[in-house]
Structure 1
Amino acid sequence: VGILRILKLARSFRKHPEQHTREVRQRRVRSLVSNLLRVLNIQPTEYNRKFVPKGAALIVANHKSNVDALSLIKLLGSGESVVPLTFVTKTELSKKKVTKAVLELLEAVMLDRESPREAGEAALAISERLRQGYQVCVFAEGTRNDDPNIIGEFKAGALKPAYRAYRAILPVSIVFSENVLSKKGPLDLLLHLVKERKLDLLDLDVRSLADQYLTMVTTNASTNLEEITEYLGMATYLIELKSRMVIPPPGELGGQNEADLERDRLVARLLEYSSYKAVIPGFYELWEKRSRIYLKRASALDQDIVFNQEAPLPEGVDPIKIHTAMQKIYDRLEE
């Protein structure tokens, strides 16, 4: 019901923005987020609330998971004096209907990370939001980083809008949200349990792992049908494997039974998936470097080069040697 109301409010806001005050829109979004976090059994906790400005400010935070923004809306939207909150976010999020509606109601600043021109326009829009009294949150790393021990490099220019608008800057550290079941699959959870319990993958106790997995899934149950189906599918697989290891089927009592072979397949699958995850940060780093490179379209040579046949060659330059060098270059090109 809350989602339908948000969608309806967003449609009305697009047509008649003057009819919906900022306070009402902010309150509706906070209500939706509070209900969503309660359903997902997520209870964010804040520390050092006394440092949060009571007016407009640029909130610079790291980014661990998809619940980071929800947690900030929940925490910053509580208390005696509530300041309007908005976000700087990538344009890809506007492709999802509900997310787009929420971002529109918050008057979020949309950023196309591949367009330098839009980046400049977004910086001006952030400064304007700050002047309008918003607290603007920017995830300065530019992408999610679920490694609990690493904070990524902050993007250059993330703080400039606050300087332009003469507003406070509030650094925020988000921790542990990467453990929430969001945008992760069953294999991620299994690897998390293996790492947390300091288990040896090559000598894995599947029965113990199955019990811990079931406990984790039931404690952090998701309402997303597609997502929870994946976790329950893995849970069913682990339960079956555990039962076959405890009571092997007839005919498998001697030697290595099918359950042991299946356990080895699971271990191999986890090792392979772990190796894939290990190289992903390298690809992110390459993508970040590539995003900082801007190409200029090729133009005709005669537009950039002015030939002056009457101009003398510099002293010491032998035209014969120049001709010989150019001929060698052409010969190589033909090869």
Structure 2
Amino acid sequence: MAKKTYRSMDDFASACGVSRPTLSKYFDDPTLIKDVTRKRIEAALKKSNFEPNLFARHLNRKRTKNIGIIVPTMSDPFYVQVVSLIELKLRAKGFWPVQLSSHTRPELEEEAVRTLLSLKVAGVIVAPLGSGSRRSALERLTDAIPVVCFDNPASADLPFVGNDNSQSVAEIVQYLCRSGEPPIFLDVPHLTENAGERQDSYRAAMIKEGHSPLVIDCDAPPSWEFERLGYEQMRRILAKNGLPGKTLLCANDRFAFGAMAAAFASGLKIGRTETCDVRIAGHDDHPLSRYACPSLTTMAQNASEIAANAVELLLGGIEDREADRKVAVNKVILEATLVMRDSA
């Protein structure tokens, strides 16, 4: 038997024998209406193919149930991992995530801001580009709605969830010093504050361990293509004077992947045994780190807690703004966990 078709919410409300506001309340939260009314609506739904246009309904409200998410790139599995967790937590709270990527380009980050404002999202969770961000675009966003940053703080005046780089880099430096030759630090372009914090932490940890820090800056134009940069940097080092030591700590896992590939291509054996030529470690616990060859020793960022805290801070900010309260500028800094694998 063919199911009935209804062209609008008004038509379906009439068929159910309820008012349009009651039907809207049902789609917002079925527990808000009487059991007998809810059962009447649900019986009608089973006999029809009616599906409300929730997105359009949200746009007609002063405040929608849509939440924007902006990240530099969706080709990085770390961002994919965190955004997936954020999405699930927002859905569980009754919100609709709207995901956009700036593709590491300032003009597209600015365009993403305009798009989310036009959609009247209730708030935004953003991983800013950092030094490449256009300050005016983010200021326009924060003037209009609650914003929470993760991975990289856009401003001291915004709520932020991120990694404790001082703790994480110090811990892996201590491990590498205890287990073998002290590490040399292979840096990445300072596109975000994370890069500077990690280098500073490396220097402090090495001095504390009684060793002289040795930082090799990335001598290529700034880029988010960290694997390529790591590969090319390692090739240049090996071609010029060779490695200045047998232990390398890379500023992030993606750079480490490139360095490992270049070392392998040059005939070097990577690993922590005495027969190996070089130890290589990274930072972040990129989702592919455990599947590298050899598997990569690294510091694991707490992706689940980053997502949970970002959502909690944002929804709290939305409630504060609705109640005309001052939005608290909370910062959640999370410790990372050492993951010892075969590379170092």
Calculate the TM-score normalised by the size of structure 2: 0.26
Q: Higher helix share goes to which structure?
A: 1
Calculate the TM-score normalised by the size of structure 1: 0.26
The structure with the larger Rg is: 1
